[in-house]
C-alpha cells in the first residue's frame, strides 16, 4: 500500500476502501467467521481505541489479536492476567545492578504495540489500574518517571462471560477506556466444518508464519491513514443524533448509569472510521446505529428492575434506539 505525500488530498474511496478489502482478505486466511468482530478491530485500530473481547474459551480471541498484529507489522505481547500478577509485572520496575552500582529500568510487556491482556478480570483491581494510565494517556509512570508508549498502542483484553469464580469485575472507570466491547459468539456449523477442514490440512494457530500472511500496512503509515479519516464529513444532524442517543441513556428508566461524554466522542470518532473503511467521505445514521451496541454495552448499568424483567444491555440499547429520531 502506497500513500501520497499529501494524504489530506486522498479520499477514503481511493485509499481506505481497498485497504479494508486487503485487510479482510488476509484476515480470512486465518480466521473463519466473526467478520463483524474483525471489522470492529480494524475500526478500533484506526480510531486509536482499545477493545474488550468477551467470549468463552476457544473462540479465537487470541488468534484475532495475533492476526491483527501480523497484518500491520506491529510488536505483539501477550500478558496472562492472574490473581498474583503485580503492576510491576505489567509496566516494569527499576532494578539495582550490583556490577555497575546503578539503578536500571526493566521495561514490562506493556511497552509493545499490540497488547493482549488475556483474562483481564482475573487480576486484582490494583493490577487492572496499572493499565488505566497506559490506555488513556499512552504512557506509564515508573518510580516517578513518565515514559511514553509506542505508537500504535492498542490493548485487546479478553474475558470469559461464564466462569466468574476467582474474577474481579472491571470498574466503570476502566471499562470506559475501552472503545468497544465485542461479544464473540460460537461459529455456525458450516463455519466450524471449515475450521476443522483447515486443521485437517495442517493449519496451526500457533504458527502464523506458515500461513504467510502479507502485511497490509505498517505502523508508520497509520498517521497518514488517520489524517484521511479525520477529513470525513459529519453533518450537524449526525452530531445531534449522537448526543440524543447518549442523553436518552441518561434518562432511561431501565438504566442506573447512562453513557458518559467519552462514549459520545467514541461514537463520533468510530463512526468516521467505519464510514471511511466503507469508502465514504461522510458518516450516515446507519454508521452510528451499527456502532452503538459495542460502544455502549459496557458503559451503561441496568437497574435491578430491568434485570428482573429479563433485559440485558443490548436489549435496553435497542429500546433506546427505537425511541430516538433518526436524522434524514
Find the CATH number of the domain harbouring 189.
3.40.50.300
Which of the listed residues 215, 248, 278 is the one where a domain comes to its end? 215
The 8-class DSSP code of residue 6 comes to: S
In a domain, 313, yes or no: yes
Q: 64 with 179, same domain?
A: yes
Nearest to 20 by CA among 276, 269, 198, 264: 276
**Is residue 5 a part of any domain in this protein?**
no
Tell me if 60 is assigned to some domain: yes
The verdict on 169 and 264 lying in the same domain is no
Question: Do 189 and 250 share a structural domain?
Answer: no
Residues 92 and 165 in one domain: yes
211 and 242 part of one domain: no
pLDDT tens digits along 23-56: 999 999 999 999 999 999 999 999 999 999 999 9
Q: What is the structure's pLDDT at 90?
A: 93
| 7 inside domain | no
Considering the entire predicted model, what is its pTM? Answer: 0.92
How many domains does one find in the chain?
2
Distance in angstroms (rounded) separating the CA atoms of residues 15 and 154? 22
Pair 207, 125 in one domain: yes
Query: What pLDDT is stored for residue 103 in this prediction?
Result: 75
Answer yes or no: is 205 within a domain. yes
Range of the domain at 239: 232-323
How many Å apart are CA 300 and CA 317, to the nearest integer?
9
Domain-terminating residue out of 184, 215, 246? 215
Residues of the chain with pLDDT under 70: 1-10, 164-166
- Beta carbons within 8 Å of 268's beta carbon, 6+ residues apart: 234, 238, 239, 242
Distance CA 198, CA 294 (A): 30
**161 near 228, Cβ under 8 Å?**
no
Q: Are residues 294 and 203 in the same domain?
A: no
Q: Could you tell me if 24 and 127 are in contact, meaning their C-beta atoms sit under 8 angstroms apart?
A: no
Please report whether residue 293 resides in a domain.
yes
Contact 115, 150 (CB under 8 A): no
Measured CA to CA, the distance from residue 167 to residue 121 in angstroms comes to 5
Clarify whether residues 115 and 255 are in a common domain: no
Q: Measuring CA to CA, which residue among 49, 56, 84, 53 is closest to residue 66?
A: 53
Asked if residue 46 belongs to a domain, the reply is yes
User: Do 242 and 141 share a structural domain?
Assistant: no
End residue of a domain, out of 189, 215, 241 = 215
Same domain, 188 and 246: no
Q: How far is CA 212 from CA 33, 208, 209, in A?
A: 20, 7, 5
- Block residue for cell numbers 434518562: 251
Examine the domain organization and report whether 45 and 95 are in the same domain.
Answer: yes
Which stretches within the chain are classed as H helix? 16-28, 35-47, 61-71, 87-91, 125-137, 172-175, 189-200, 222-230, 236-251, 261-277, 285-296, 304-308, 313-323
pLDDT of residue 1: 54
Say which CATH number the domain at 258 has.
1.10.8.80
User: What is the structure's pLDDT at 281?
Assistant: 94
Q: Give pLDDT, residue 9.
A: 64
Do 161 and 197 sit in the same domain of this protein? yes
Q: What is the pLDDT of residue 3?
A: 53
Amino acid at each position: 500500500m502506497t500513500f501520497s505525500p499529501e494524504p489530506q488530498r486522498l479520499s477514503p474511496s481511493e485509499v481506505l476502501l481497498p485497504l479494508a478489502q486487503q485487510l479482510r482478505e488476509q484476515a480470512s486466511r486465518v480466521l473463519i467467521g466473526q467478520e463483524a468482530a474483525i471489522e470492529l478491530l480494524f475500526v478500533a485500530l484506526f480510531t486509536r481505541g482499545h477493545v474488550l473481547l468477551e467470549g468463552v474459551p476457544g473462540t479465537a480471541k487470541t488468534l484475532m489479536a495475533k492476526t491483527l498484529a501480523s497484518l500491520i507489522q506491529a510488536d505483539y505481547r501477550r500478558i496472562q492476567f492472574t490473581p498474583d500478577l503485580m503492576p510491576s509485572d505489567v509496566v516494569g520496575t527499576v532494578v539495582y545492578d550490583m556490577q555497575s552500582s546503578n539503578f536500571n529500568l526493566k521495561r514490562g510487556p506493556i511497552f509493545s504495540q499490540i497488547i493482549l491482556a488475556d483474562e483481564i478480570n482475573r487480576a486484582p483491581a490494583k493490577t487492572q489500574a496499572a493499565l488505566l494510565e497506559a490506555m488513556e494517556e499512552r504512557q506509564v509512570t515508573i518510580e516517578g518517571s513518565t515514559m511514553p508508549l509506542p505508537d500504535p498502542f492498542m490493548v485487546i483484553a479478553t474475558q470469559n462471560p461464564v466462569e466468574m469464580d476467582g474474577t474481579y469485575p472491571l470498574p466503570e472507570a476502566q471499562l470506559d477506556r475501552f472503545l468497544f466491547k465485542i461479544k464473540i459468539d460460537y461459529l455456525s456449523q458450516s463455519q466450524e466444518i471449515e475450521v476443522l477442514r483447515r486443521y485437517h490440512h495442517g493449519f496451526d494457530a500457533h504458527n502464523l508464519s506458515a500461513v504467510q500472511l502479507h502485511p497490509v500496512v505498517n505502523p508508520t503509515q497509520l498517521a497518514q491513514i488517520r489524517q484521511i479519516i479525520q477529513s470525513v464529513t459529519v453533518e450537524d444532524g449526525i452530531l445531534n443524533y449522537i448526543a440524543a442517543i447518549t442523553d436518552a441513556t441518561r434518562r432511561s428508566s431501565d438504566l442506573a448509569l447512562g453513557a458518559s461524554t467519552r462514549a459520545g466522542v467514541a461514537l463520533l470518532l468510530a463512526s468516521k472510521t467505519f464510514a471511511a473503511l466503507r469508502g465514504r467521505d461522510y458518516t450516515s445514521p446507519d454508521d452510528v446505529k451499527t456502532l452503538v451496541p459495542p460502544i455502549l454495552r459496557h458503559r451503561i448499568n441496568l437497574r435491578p428492575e430491568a434485570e428482573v424483567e429479563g433485559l440485558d444491555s443490548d436489549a435496553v440499547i435497542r429500546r433506546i434506539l427505537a425511541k430516538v429520531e433518526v436524522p434524514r
